[in-house]
Amino acid sequence: MKIRGVLFDLDGTLLDQDGAVDDALRRWLPTLGVAPEPHVLARWHEIQERHLGAWRERRITFAEQRRRRLRDFLPEVGVAAAAPDLDHIFAGYLRCYQASWRAFDDADDALTAVAAAGLAVAVLTNGTTEQQNDKLARVGLAGRVGPVWTVDNLGVAKPDTGAFLGACARWGLPPAAVLSVGDRHDLDVLPARAAGLSAVLLDRHGTGPADEPHRVGSLRELTF
């Protein structure tokens, strides 16, 4: 079936999520008296992914995953914090994170190419509706991506195939007419195909998997 719509992931695909997190940590950690050394940043990413995973599975709330991140991370970097202070501390990180949001420099070109091909565009993202729409607005993409589907409005998160099927149903397009584009093979590619969509892996750093035949190193390499 001919492709009629392109379903983009947001974080790591249109928006430089890892860069934003690292930039935020470099601004925020010194306010806590912590040097933003590479191993410290890497540890934050590990803890973040674990607790975001629990939230994606709907086992904890979005606010609770933030608190759990700090409960794990702060003692490791020698920062004492009482439970009532965790939300206030995280707010400091969040301000730095929001100030660091940037679209990848190939995002504009890709969206222009999709529009020129006469295809519909939407976003499927494992984030909250409020925050993900805020990201798109702040980086200047809000008016260019069409509907934005999140864990909040679908009730399930990638890699659940229900996230892809729910997005297609709300979009009014059959899965076979939709192309999923994202940077996570486990979240954006394999489950998309299992749901009946086509899928392309955005492999910016050449990390594979090596046997994935449908991948691009930049959004500019997408063809429609």
32 CB contacts (<8 Å, ≥6 apart)? 74, 77, 79, 89
**Backbone region of residue 179 per phi and psi (left: phi > 0; alpha: psi in -120 to 50; beta: other values):** beta
Residues in the chain: 224
Would you call 148 helix, strand, or coil by DSSP?
strand
pLDDT, tens digit only, all 224 positions of the chain: 899 999 999 999 999 999 999 999 999 999 999 999 999 999 999 999 999 989 988 899 999 999 999 999 999 999 999 999 999 999 999 999 999 999 999 999 999 999 999 999 999 999 999 999 999 999 999 989 999 999 999 999 999 999 999 999 999 999 999 999 999 999 999 999 999 999 999 999 999 898 999 999 999 999 98
Q: Give residue limits of the domains in the chain.
A: 5-16+102-221, 17-99
Task: Tell which residue, 173, 171, 203, has the closest CA to residue 186.
Answer: 203
- Rounded to two decimals, what is the model's pTM? 0.93
The sheet with strand 5-8 has its strands ordered as 148-149, 120-124, 5-8, 178-182, 198-202, 215-216
The CATH architecture assigned to 5-16+102-221 reads 3-Layer(aba) Sandwich (3.40)
